[in-house]
Amino acid sequence: MGNVTAFGTTAAGQDVHKITLSRGDLVASVITKGATLQSVRLAGVAHDLTLGSDNLADYEGKMRSNGALVAPVVNRFTGARAPIGGKTFQFEANQSGRHTLHFGAAGTQHKVWTIAEVSDSAVTLALTLPAGEGNMPGNRPVRATFAVTERGLQMDVTATTDAVTLFNAANHSYWNLDGSETWAGHALRIDAFAYLPTTADFTPTGEIAPVAGTAFDLRQMRAVIPGQDQFDHNFCLMGGSGSLRDVLWLKGASGLTMTIATTEAGIQVYDGRNAMRPGRSRFEGLAIEAQNWPDAPNHPGFPSIELAAGATYHQTTEWRFGR
């Protein structure tokens, strides 16, 4: 297919490909390293809407999560452990030597996926996570489809397992609708009834705090300010999980807009304070990650991310753009 091109070779010698998808005014590029959304362009707009790179080495370095599909479990495990099927499992403590972040070295963001199907407007990437990798049980075939549709860009993720396991995936793209140095000038709305307060280590305390009366009340669109609005939190979305519904609205000073719909119960927003691309500034983009609530197995009141043997995990997330 003409829309599949070479993107580079990893330090380990694996070839990485770039798939360019287009329909109407929208062009999106995905690379097979990390099932990464590398670029999102709108016709007539001179800048990229997401923070990517044309250099594969960046994605093996500081940008290893930028745009990637993070699985089998995104976000954090307090104490680098979690119960599965009644038994406690220990995982890599890659955050401060105490907690697990984005499942450490065994995360799918580090892997080169296989192209299973491709067309001018859609690509399906696949890989299988072997039982015991990162100490997570179950052989888990995973498929991720990115499609440019009449509505926008859609991502479908499915996974199955042959043993009880945990699964919570998220696309980890950073967004700046203005192509500017920082996301200053953006406005944000999130249809969330609560948020998850965190410890000094950014792990959930276990409290489910109503947004009403707090700086996390974004139920009405309002301007957000780098450094003043400090985000590295999960927002608990209206409607729970299962139904695809609009949950987040972002608007740039340029007038460009992005609406995110998802089937997930939560959406993590990170302000990008320490997520600099090479040569760029702090707060360049907002990371927006539709997912189930983080650290869920360690908090009985959180929605479960346990996946039974023979069961199927399914997430749909959609990005729509306007001006």
- The per-residue pLDDT for 2 is 64
Q: Sort strands 306-307 and 165-166 into parallel, antiparallel or unpaired.
A: antiparallel
3-state secondary structure 139-165: CEEEEEEEEECCCCEEEEEEEECCCCE
Give which of 211, 210, 216, 206 is closest to 296, Cα–Cα: 206
pTM above threshold 0.95 = yes
CATH no. for residue 49?
A: 2.70.98.10
- CB under 8 Å to 249, separation ≥6 — which residues? 188, 189, 190, 221, 257, 258, 259, 260
Length of the chain: 323
Query: Which residues, given as ranges, of the chain have pLDDT below 70?
Result: 1-2
Q: Please spell the DSSP secondary structure of 54-117, one letter per residue.
A: S-HHHHTTTTTTTT-EE-SB-SEEGGGEEEETTEEEE----BTTTBEETTGGGSGGGSBPEEEE
Q: Radius of gyration (Cα) for the chain, nearest Å?
A: 18
Residue with tokens 């410890």: 199
Q: How many domains does the chain have?
A: 1
226: DSSP letter: T
220: DSSP letter: S
133 three-state secondary structure: helix
- The per-residue pLDDT for 240 is 83
Peptide bond into 278 cis (omega under 30): no
Cα–Cα distance measured from residue 213 to residue 236, given in angstroms and rounded to the nearest whole number: 16
120 three-state secondary structure: coil
264 three-state secondary structure: coil
Residue with tokens 């090479």: 278
* Tens-place pLDDT, residues 37-78: 999 999 999 999 999 999 999 999 999 999 999 999 999 999
Q: Residue 33 pairs with which residues in a beta bridge?
A: 112
- For residue 166, the enclosing domain spans 4-322
Cα–Cα distance measured from residue 266 to residue 211, given in angstroms and rounded to the nearest whole number: 14
Q: Please spell the DSSP secondary structure of 261-283, one letter per residue.
A: EESSSEEEEE--TT-PPTT--TT
* Tens-place pLDDT, residues 148-177: 999 999 999 999 999 999 999 999 999 999
- The per-residue pLDDT for 276 is 85
Q: What share of the chain is helix, strand, coil (3-state, %, to 5)?
A: 5, 45, 50
- The per-residue pLDDT for 1 is 60
Cα–Cα distance measured from residue 229 to residue 265, given in angstroms and rounded to the nearest whole number: 22
Peptide bond into 72 cis (omega under 30): yes
**Residue 5 · residue 18 · CB < 8 Å:** yes
Cα–Cα distance measured from residue 45 to residue 186, given in angstroms and rounded to the nearest whole number: 17
